[in-house]
C-alpha cells in the first residue's frame, strides 16, 4: 500500500484528527445508539496536549498548500493526510490496554487494520516490563487485526452488544412498589435503588461474582477488589461508559440483614438510550431470579424517565447470562472480538 503511512497519532493535524474521530462518533450513534461525543472530546483534548499514545494510518491525496499546513508533519509533500484509521493505548505498570482500533468505513477490508495493529504491538513489544496486553473496545469489521492477534498468541473471546426496547407493559405485576422496588422476591431478597454508601459493598459483589469467570481473564481488573473498584469508578465517575444514572441503578439486598447480594449500574448513552454497564450477583444467589429482578426494575425506571431502549454487553461464553438477557427482551445487535495476552 504505497500511499499508506503509519505515524504517531500526536503528529496528525487537528482538522484531520477531528475528521476521523467525528466519523467514529457518527457510527457509534447510528449503530449502537451511543452518543460518544463527550468521550471523544476528552480523547482529543489529551491528543492536543501530546499525551495520547497511539498510531494513525494516513493516506495521501493531492491538495492545496493551505491544507498541507495542518498536516505537514506526516511527511507527505504536496499532499493532504487523510486519516484512514487509528488506535491508541494506555500503559499502566506491567499492563497495556489497547483502546479503539477504528478504521474509516471507506478503507475497511483493505488490510489497514492489520498494518495498524501490527505497528501498535511492535511498539508495545519494545516495553521490557510489559507482562500483559488487553484489547476490549467495541470494533467494526477488523478481520485483519483479528488475524494478527491470533498469530501473536492472544486469547480471543466474542462479546455481544445487546439491546431491548422499553415498555411498561413488559414489567411484571410484582413491581408495584415505589421506584420499581420488589416487595418480595426469592427468599428474603428485595430490590431497591442505589445509594451512595453502596459503593464498597458493590466492589466486593462484583469481585466475588466474576471470580473464575472468563471476564476475569479478559480484564485483569476483575481479578482483585482494587481492580473492581477502578472499574466501578469508571462506571460511576466518568463518561467512558455513558453518564451514570444512580436513580436507575439497583441493589439486591437481604431484607433482614441489609447485606448486598447483587448490584446493577445504569447509565445514559444518549437522549433515548440507557445502558446496563454492570450486572453482578453473588454466586450463592445466582439462579434464583435476582439478576432478572434487578434488570426488570432498572428497565421500568428507565422507561419512566423517557428512555426508549436499553443496551448491555456480555461475553458470549457466559451462556447463562446470555440466556437471561434474551429472556428479558434483549437481542444481539452487534458482535465484536476482545483479546488478551500475558507473558508466560
- On whether residue 342 sits in a domain, the answer given is no
What is the spatial distance between Cα 138 and Cα 159, in angstroms, rounded to a whole number? 9
- Per-residue pLDDT band for 283 (boundaries 50, 70, 90) equals very high
> Over pLDDT 90: what percentage of the chain?
84
pLDDT above 60 for 175: no
CB neighbour list of residue 8: distance below 8 Å, 6 or more residues apart: 54, 55, 56
Q: Report in angstroms the alpha-carbon separations of 71 from 13, 259, 309.
A: 5, 58, 41
Backbone phi and psi for residue 5, each to the nearest 5 degrees, phi listed first: -135, 150
Q: What share of the chain is helix, strand, coil (3-state, %, to 5)?
A: 40, 30, 30
Residues 171-181 have a mean pLDDT of 46
Listing DSSP states for 203-257 in one string gives HHHHHHHHTTSHHHHH-GGGGSHHHHHHHHHHHHHSSBTBEE-GGG-EEEEETTT
The tens digit of pLDDT for each residue in 92-125 reads: 999 999 999 999 999 999 999 999 999 999 999 9
pLDDT tier at 167, thresholds 50, 70, 90: confident
**Is residue 293 predicted with pLDDT exceeding 50?**
yes
- Could you tell me which of 303, 318, 174 has the C-alpha nearest to residue 248? 303
The confidence score (pLDDT) of residue 146 equals 97
Least confident of 21-25, 67-71, 142-146, 334-338: 67-71
Q: Is 141 left (phi over 0), alpha (psi -120 to 50) or beta?
A: left
Q: Are residues 190 and 149 in the same domain?
A: no
Q: For position 344, what pLDDT does the model report?
A: 82
pLDDT at 69: 42
Residue 191 lies in a domain: yes
Task: Kindly state the cell numbers that stand for 230.
Answer: 477502578
3-state secondary structure 6-67: EEEHHHCCHHHHHHHHHHHHHHHHHHHCCCCHHHHHHHHHHHHCCCCCEEEEEEEEECCHHH
Q: Is the pLDDT of residue 210 over 90?
A: yes
In DSSP terms, 266 is beta-bridged to 276
pLDDT at 187: 54
Whether residue 171 is found in the same domain as residue 34: no
The pLDDT value recorded for residue 62 is: 57
What is the pTM assigned to this prediction? 0.90
The full length of the chain comes to 344
For 2, the 3-state DSSP assignment is coil
Q: Is 343 inside a domain boundary?
A: no
Split into its structural domains, the chain has a count of 2
User: Residue 255: which pLDDT band, with cuts at 50, 70 and 90?
Assistant: confident
What's the confidence (pLDDT) of residue 174?
A: 47
Higher pLDDT, 251 or 62: 251
Count Cα atoms within 13 angstroms, Cβ side, for 260: 26
| pLDDT band, very low/low/confident/very high, at 188 (cuts 50, 70, 90) | confident
Residue 277 has pLDDT above 90, yes or no: yes
- What pLDDT is stored for residue 24 in this prediction? 98
- Looking at the structure, tell me whether residues 221 and 313 fall in a common domain: yes
Beta bridge partners of 254: 189
In whole angstroms, what separates CA 163 from the centre of its chain?
A: 14
User: Which structural domain, as residue segments, surrounds residue 186?
Assistant: 161-336
| Domain stops at, among 153, 176, 191 | 153
- Per the domain annotation, does 25 fall within a domain? yes
pLDDT band at 2 (very low <50, low <70, confident <90, very high): low
Is residue 81 predicted with pLDDT exceeding 80? no
Q: What is the CATH number of the domain that holds 66?
A: 3.40.630.30
Which residues partner with 276 through β-bridges? 266
Give pLDDT, residue 183.
38
Give the model's pLDDT for residue 179: 40
- Backbone φ and ψ for 271, nearest 5 degrees, come out as -60, -25
The per-residue pLDDT for 63 is: 53
For residue 81, give the 3-state DSSP assignment.
Answer: strand
Q: How far is CA 247 from CA 61, 87, 193, 229, 267, in A?
A: 50, 35, 6, 20, 10
Asked if residue 115 is part of any domain, the answer here is yes
Angle between helices 319-327 and 290-304 in degrees, nearest 10: 40
pLDDT tier at 76 (50, 70, 90 boundaries)? very low
97 and 202 belong to one structural domain? no
pLDDT at 290 over 90: yes
CA-based nearest residue to 56, from 41, 44, 42: 44
Mean pLDDT of the chain: 90
Are residues 17 and 128 both part of a single domain? yes
Q: What is the mean pLDDT of residues 227-255?
A: 96
Confidence check: pLDDT of 262 > 50 = yes
Grid cell 466519523 is found at 23
Amino acid at each position: 500500500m504505497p500511499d499508506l503511512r503509519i505515524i504517531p497519532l500526536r503528529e496528525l493535524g487537528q482538522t484531520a484528527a477531528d475528521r476521523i474521530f467525528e466519523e467514529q462518533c457518527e457510527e457509534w450513534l447510528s449503530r449502537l445508539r451511543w452518543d460518544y461525543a463527550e468521550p471523544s472530546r476528552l480523547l482529543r483534548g489529551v491528543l492536543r496536549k501530546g499525551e495520547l499514545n497511539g498510531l494513525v494510518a494516513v493516506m495521501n491525496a493531492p491538495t492545496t498548500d493551505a491544507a498541507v499546513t495542518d498536516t505537514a508533519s506526516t511527511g507527505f509533500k504536496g499532499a493532504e493526510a487523510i486519516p484512514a484509521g487509528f488506535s491508541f493505548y494506555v500503559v499502566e505498570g506491567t499492563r497495556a490496554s489497547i483502546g479503539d482500533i477504528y478504521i474509516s468505513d471507506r478503507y475497511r477490508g483493505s488490510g489497514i487494520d492489520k498494518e495498524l495493529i501490527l505497528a501498535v504491538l511492535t511498539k508495545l513489544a519494545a516495553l521490557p516490563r510489559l507482562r500483559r496486553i488487553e484489547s476490549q473496545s467495541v470494533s467494526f469489521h477488523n478481520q485483519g487485526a483479528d488475524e494478527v492477534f491470533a498469530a501473536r498468541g492472544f486469547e480471543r473471546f466474542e462479546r455481544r452488544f445487546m439491546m431491548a426496547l422499553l415498555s411498561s407493559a413488559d414489567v411484571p405485576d410484582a413491581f408495584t412498589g415505589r421506584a420499581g422496588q420488589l416487595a418480595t422476591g426469592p427468599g428474603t431478597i428485595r430490590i431497591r435503588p442505589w445509594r451512595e454508601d453502596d459503593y464498597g459493598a458493590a466492589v466486593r459483589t462484583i469481585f466475588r461474582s466474576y471470580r473464575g469467570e472468563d471476564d476475569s481473564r479478559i480484564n485483569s481488573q476483575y481479578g482483585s477488589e482494587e481492580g473492581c473498584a477502578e472499574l466501578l469508578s469508571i462506571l460511576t465517575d466518568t463518561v467512558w461508559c455513558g453518564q451514570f444514572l444512580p436513580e436507575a441503578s439497583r441493589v439486591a439486598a437481604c431484607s433482614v440483614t441489609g447485606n448486598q447480594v447483587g448490584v446493577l449500574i445504569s447509565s445514559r448513552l444518549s437522549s433515548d438510550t440507557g445502558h446496563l454497564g454492570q450486572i453482578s450477583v453473588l454466586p450463592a444467589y445466582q439462579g434464583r431470579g435476582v439478576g432478572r429482578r434487578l434488570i426488570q426494575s432498572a428497565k421500568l425506571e428507565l422507561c419512566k424517565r423517557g428512555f426508549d431502549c436499553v443496551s448491555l454487553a456480555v461475553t458470549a461464553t457466559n451462556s447463562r447470562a446470555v440466556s437471561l438477557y434474551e429472556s428479558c427482551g434483549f437481542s444481539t445487535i452487534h458482535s465484536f472480538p476482545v483479546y488478551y495476552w500475558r507473558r508466560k
